[in-house]
């Protein structure tokens, strides 16, 4: 796991949004590839072609509404996949289906070859899928550290007897959980570990959510509009963070509206419209695809 590239510049902490970008030279020495020129798609080393998450002909109905209509795509290990589409396209529904919140009406979703449907949600997390939320859902009164520790607890075996009697396992897991949580908080760039989550700045809260999700040791990290409300500097910072996460071996799935971010960080993109997949491919391909352009911008009147 790459180290946080900079040391805190001053003891009192203000807005940490561009903290991670403060020392680009440090980053270069750690071996992270430099930022691409604006808007260009990044030539990445080819991710492995092992399928990690397979969305197999999934249809999802809510009463009479067809939210997803025979959606079909595969997410490969080590890649950063973007899921885009105009509002109401079914991105969040697809997202929720992929993280086990919804069960498909027909079709199947497989993670590491195993069916997701019918599993308890916390078990899905333990299988290795973690997520963040579109409208931040932290535990507001718990500190940043405690929030992340809840994530770290996902794989802990301490239960009531060990905790009651303070058995060795309790001490062990508590210590390792705390250490890991601090590391993760530093990794994402949240420095006020002991501040209540609701007191953190917006940017810190978004990054805290990512840290919490990472604490569950996921194989797949699903980010739901992680850059919503960010200014361009913050978005660049986030872009780098996502790459750093992928470099630690975590596959990333991303829903985002900001095209620059999507084009800049993803390896492949899946485009949804009205619950159907209308395009799939590299950012360059998708950008040129007439169906995608029509979905976002509409068809010219005379081309009907």
Partner 1 sequence: MTEIRARWRALRQAVGSRWDRQPKATKIGLLLVFVIFLYALPNRGFYEYLGLPLGEYIPLYTTRSDMATVLFQCGYFILLALGLNIVVGYAGMLDLGFFGFFAVGAYTIATLTSPRSKVFTEYNWLESPWPWIVALPLAVSLSLLAGVLLGWPVLRLRGDYLAIVTLGFAEMIRIVAQNNDWIFNGDRGIAEIAHPPGKNPDGTPIFLLDAKPYYWLVLTVIIAMVFLIRNLARSRVGRAWVAIREDEDAAELMGVPTYRFRLWAFAMGAGIGGLSGALWAGQIGFVNASTFRLEQSILVLAAVLLGGAGNIGGAILGGFLVIYVPEWLRSVGEVFGLPETVRIAGEPYDVSATNLRYLFFGIVLIVVMIFRPQGLWPNRRRAAELKDREKEAMVGA
The least CB distance from residue 213 to partner 1, in Å, is: 7
Residue 170 lies near partner 1 (rule: CB under 8 A): yes
Pairing of strands 268-273, 276-281: antiparallel
Rg of the chain over CA atoms, in angstroms? Answer: 20
The least CB distance from residue 246 to partner 1, in Å, is: 21
CB 214 within 8 A of CB 152: no
CA atoms within 13 A on the CB side of 209: 23
Q: Which is nearer to partner 1, 126 or 287 (CB)?
A: 126
The least CB distance from residue 143 to partner 1, in Å, is: 10
Residue 26 lies near partner 1 (rule: CB under 8 A): no
Phi–psi pair at 110, nearest 5 degrees: -120, 135
Residue 143 DSSP symbol: B
Number of residues that bind partner 1 (CB under 8 A): 40
Residue 131 lies near partner 1 (rule: CB under 8 A): yes
Residue 28 lies near partner 1 (rule: CB under 8 A): no
Residue 150 lies near partner 1 (rule: CB under 8 A): yes
Q: What share of the chain is helix, strand, coil (3-state, %, to 5)?
A: 40, 20, 40
Interface positions, 192-251, toward partner 1 (CB under 8 A):
196, 198, 212-213, 216
Residue 141 lies near partner 1 (rule: CB under 8 A): yes
Q: Which residues contact 116 (CB under 8 A, 6 or more apart)?
A: 98, 100, 109, 110, 124
Residue 285 lies near partner 1 (rule: CB under 8 A): no
Residue 1 lies near partner 1 (rule: CB under 8 A): no
Closest CA to 60 of 83, 93, 87: 93
* CA 111/CA 58 separation, integer angstroms: 14
Interface positions, 58-97, toward partner 1 (CB under 8 A):
none
Sole window of 23-31, 72-80, 115-123, 265-273 interacting with partner 1 (rule: CB under 8 A): 115-123
The least CB distance from residue 124 to partner 1, in Å, is: 8
* CA 304/CA 299 separation, integer angstroms: 7
Only one residue has tokens 């940043």, namely 144
Residue 184 lies near partner 1 (rule: CB under 8 A): no
Enter the tokens of residue 38. Answer: 């604006």
* CA 252/CA 260 separation, integer angstroms: 17
The least CB distance from residue 68 to partner 1, in Å, is: 20
Sole window of 25-33, 58-66, 104-112, 155-163 interacting with partner 1 (rule: CB under 8 A): 155-163
Distance of CA 111 to the CA centre of its chain: 16
Q: Which residue ranges make up the site for partner 1 (CB under 8 A)?
A: 99, 101, 120-122, 125-126, 130-131, 133, 137-142, 146, 149-151, 153-156, 158-160, 163-166, 170, 173-174, 177, 196, 198, 212-213, 216
């Amino acid at each position: 796991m790459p180290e946080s590239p900079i040391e805190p510049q001053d003891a009192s902490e203000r807005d940490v949004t561009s903290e991670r970008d403060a020392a680009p030279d440090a980053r270069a020495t750690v071996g992270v590839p430099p930022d691409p020129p604006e808007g260009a798609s990044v030539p990445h080393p080819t991710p492995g072609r092992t399928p990690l998450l397979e969305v197999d002909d999934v249809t999802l109905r809510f009463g009479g509404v067809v939210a997803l209509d025979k959606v079909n795509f595969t997410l490969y290990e080590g890649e950063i996949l973007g899921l885009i589409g105009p509002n109401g396209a079914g991105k969040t529904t697809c997202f929720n289906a992929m993280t086990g919140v919804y069960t498909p009406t027909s079709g199947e979703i497989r993670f590491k070859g195993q069916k997701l449907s019918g599993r308890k949600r916390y078990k899905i997390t333990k299988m290795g899928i973690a997520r963040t939320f579109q409208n931040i859902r932290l535990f507001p009164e718990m500190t940043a550290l405690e929030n992340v520790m809840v994530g770290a607890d996902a794989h802990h075996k301490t239960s009531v007897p060990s905790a009651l009697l303070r058995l060795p396992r309790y001490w062990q897991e508590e210590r390792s959980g705390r250490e890991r949580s601090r590391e993760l908080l530093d990794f994402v760039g949240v420095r006020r570990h002991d501040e209540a989550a609701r007191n953190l700045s917006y940017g810190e809260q978004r990054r805290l959510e990512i840290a919490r999700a990472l604490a569950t040791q996921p194989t797949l990290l699903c980010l739901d509009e992680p850059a919503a409300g960010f200014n361009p500097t913050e978005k660049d910072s986030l872009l780098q963070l996502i790459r750093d996460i992928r470099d630690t071996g975590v596959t990333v799935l991303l829903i985002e509206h900001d095209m620059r971010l999507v084009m800049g960080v993803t390896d492949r993109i899946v485009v949804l419209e009205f619950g159907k997949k209308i395009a799939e491919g590299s950012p360059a391909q998708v950008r040129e695809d007439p169906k995608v352009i029509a979905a976002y911008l509409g068809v010219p009147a005379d081309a009907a």
